[in-house]
Amino acid sequence: MTSSSTFRYGGQVHANGIRQHYLRYGGAEGERAQRDAVILIPGITSPAVTWGFVAEHLGQAFDTYVLDVRGRGLSASGPGLDYGLDAQAADVTAFAQALGLARYALVGHSMGGRIAVRAARSAPAGLTRLVIVDPPVSGPGRRAYPAALPWYVDSIRQATIGMTAEDMRQFCPTWTEEQRQLRAQWLHTCFEPAIVQSFEDFARDDIHADLPKITQPLLLMTAERGDVVRDEDVAEWQGLAPQTTHVRVPNAGHMIPWDNEAGFYEAFGDFLGAPVR
């Protein structure tokens, strides 16, 4: 950690009946105290630590929390837990309540975006705005998410027995060595049954039915590449949630900040209450 880092600490909290692990960046001092906190919810196989580089930037302007979704990282995991979308969404709102966050925004990537949508449906106290980043728009009767389950399962199984950054290259060929090293280090913490259920739930859960119930301002951020969210999907989303602003990030696939980090931050504008520097 450098002297300029916004990282504060990693913590654990008991909320919604489970242990939830998080990383905190920025803190609530100075100008940040006047702004909403930010809770960042990563995607299907992204432990909180892998989003640390994004949280470093968000932490410059906001009190920022990055969650380990249940079944990932250092949060509660293993057999016997409910890995469904409703449980994941309840985790987020219980987390905010347990930490006493009076006002907060949710920033969810991919699966994390779907979790944020489901959480917002119940209008939890304190939730002020949503940023949904390249969410799978799959659901009953809809086209499949454009990724294959074996890509996740095969890499998790290899990580579980031990893999190097070079081994990870076959799964993430465009990533930098640093990015592959971090994923190789942490991917084994993703509990395979949890990942399989989340992936299959992309086709089972209907988040579109949640959208008309959301009242908070919403920013939909999508990738130029990857075919996760098409133009017609954006139009449907805005029809269901007319308060949605859409920004498509150029030169980026689904893992937007990995491909175009500067473009990712620029896409926020001042939606969160201050520019993301």
Domains of the chain, each with CATH number or no CATH: 7-268 (3.40.50.1820)
User: pLDDT tens digits, residue range 54-76?
Assistant: 999 999 999 999 999 999 999 99
pLDDT band at 2 (very low <50, low <70, confident <90, very high): very low
Integer Cα distance of 87 and 93 in angstroms: 10
Cα separation of the two ends of the chain? 19
Integer Cα distance of 180 and 169 in angstroms: 7
- With pLDDT > 70 as the criterion, what percentage of the chain qualifies? 99
CA distances from 161 to 41, 98, 164 (A): 27, 35, 11
Tokens 């993301």 belong to residue: 276
Q: For residue 26, is pLDDT > 70?
A: yes
Q: What is the DSSP track for 218-242?
A: EEEEEESSSSSS-HHHHHHHHHHST
By the 8 A CB rule, do 66 and 51 touch?
yes
Predicted local confidence at residue 4, as pLDDT: 86
User: pLDDT tens digits, residue range 153-200?
Assistant: 999 999 999 999 999 999 999 999 999 999 999 999 999 999 999 999
User: pLDDT tens digits, residue range 219-266?
Assistant: 999 999 999 999 999 999 999 999 999 999 999 999 999 999 999 999
Closest CA to 61 of 25, 91, 106: 25
∠ CA 94-106-117, rounded to 5°: 85
Mean pLDDT taken over the chain: 97
Integer Cα distance of 47 and 141 in angstroms: 30
What is the Cα Rg of the chain in Å? Answer: 17
Q: For residue 97, is pLDDT > 60?
A: yes
